[in-house]
Amino acid sequence: MQPKVLDLFAGCGGLSLGLTQAGFDVVGAVEIDQWAADTYRYNHSGVEVIQADIRSVDDVTLRAHFGGKIDLVAGGPPCQGFSFSGKRQFGHVKEQNSLVEEFIRVVAVVSPKMVLIENVSGFRTGQLKPGNPVMCYLATALNQLGYEFAVRVLQAVDYGVPSLRSRIFVVASRVGFPRSPFPLPTHSADPRIDATPFVSVLDAISDLPELRAAEGIDAYVPYDSPPLNSYQEEMRIGSSGVANHIAMKHTPRLVDRFRALPQGVKGYDLGRKASPSENGTVTVYKSNNQRLVADEPSLCITANFQSTYVHPFQPRNLTAREAARLMSYPDTFYFCGKRTQMSSGFLKKYGREHEDFLSQYNQIGNSVPPRLAHAIGQELLGLLQLSPKPRRCKDRRYEDVFEELV
Active site residues: 79
Cα–Cα distances in angstroms (integers) from residue 105 to residues 110, 138, 296, 322, 342, in the given order: 9, 11, 42, 37, 33
Which among 72, 161, 123, 203 is positioned nearest to 370, based on CA atoms?
Answer: 161
DSSP-H helix ranges across 299-369: 320-326, 344-349, 360-366
- Return the SS3 of 125: helix
Whether 74 and 52 have beta carbons less than 8 Å apart is answered as no
What's the CA gap between 93 and 131, in Å, rounded?
11
How many whole angstroms from its chain centre is CA 244? Answer: 18
Whether 346 and 355 have beta carbons less than 8 Å apart is answered as no
What's the CA gap between 318 and 240, in Å, rounded?
21
Beta-carbon contacts of 382 under 8 Å, excluding residues fewer than 6 positions away, are: 179
What's the CA gap between 155 and 84, in Å, rounded?
17
Q: Which amino acid is at 397?
A: R
Q: DSSP per residue over 272-294, as a string? A: -PPPGGGTT---GGGGSSEEPPT
Q: DSSP per residue over 137-172, as a string? A: HHHHHHHHTT-EEEEEEEEGGGGT-SB--EEEEEEE
What's the start-to-end Cα distance of the chain, in Å?
34
What's the CA gap between 321 and 309, in Å, rounded?
14
How many whole angstroms from its chain centre is CA 403? Answer: 25
Whether 163 and 297 have beta carbons less than 8 Å apart is answered as yes
